Amino acid sequence: MTDQQPQSSEQTQPSEQTQPSEQTQWNVAEWHGKMLFDRDGEKIGKLQDVYVDVETDEPQFATVKEGFIGRHLTFVPLGGLQVGPDSLQVPVTGEQVRSAPNIDLHGDELSQADESTLYHHYELNYTPPATQSGRRLARR
């Protein structure tokens, strides 16, 4: 059997993506402002920011605004995330999110201690990367 289709030597045309850093395979830029729901379908809040693993560039946590009075940002893990057209669903309970540690942000970064606290709260393995900063998460 021979292949009837001619082999193409055309070069791939550049895509319309002029800034690939803004668009990853996860389309993280499209998640901002979407409603985040817990594993039981209960509303957690609107997604504010996404934090990625500095070694893999995969989304690890999102921040959501929580509460009506004295609203604060809460970190929610994104492992096992289900992406819908207008919302995102995470495999944690609303209670886990409500009891998450309050972390004060200083700029775009968390301290290594805050990262460790966050990972342990959600029962996730935490190993600081071998980078100069020693931090695993970066905001996108």
Closest CA to 96 of 40, 53, 56, 134: 40
Is residue 102 a part of any domain in this protein? Answer: yes
Contacts of 46 (CB under 8 A, 6+ apart): 33, 34, 35, 36, 64, 65
| Predicted TM-score of the model (pTM) | 0.75
The CATH code of the domain that includes 101 is 3.90.50.10
Phi first, then psi, for residue 112 (nearest 5°) are -60, -40
Closest CA to 65 of 53, 57, 73: 73
Span 100-122, pLDDT tens digits: 998 877 667 788 899 999 999 99
Is residue 92 a part of any domain in this protein? Answer: yes
Calculate the alpha carbon distances from 38 to 6, 47, 53, 79, 81 in Å. Answer: 51, 12, 22, 12, 10
Is residue 110 a part of any domain in this protein? Answer: yes
Residue 92, both tokens: 């944690």
Residue 110, both tokens: 């968390």
Span 25-43, pLDDT tens digits: 568 888 999 999 999 999 9
For 95-99, 127-131, 136-140, which range has the lowest pLDDT when averaged over its residues? Answer: 127-131
Is residue 21 a part of any domain in this protein? Answer: no
Q: Domain limits at 129?
A: 26-139
How many folded domains does the chain comprise? 1
Span 60-94, pLDDT tens digits: 999 997 665 555 689 999 999 999 988 999 999 99
Is residue 13 a part of any domain in this protein? Answer: no
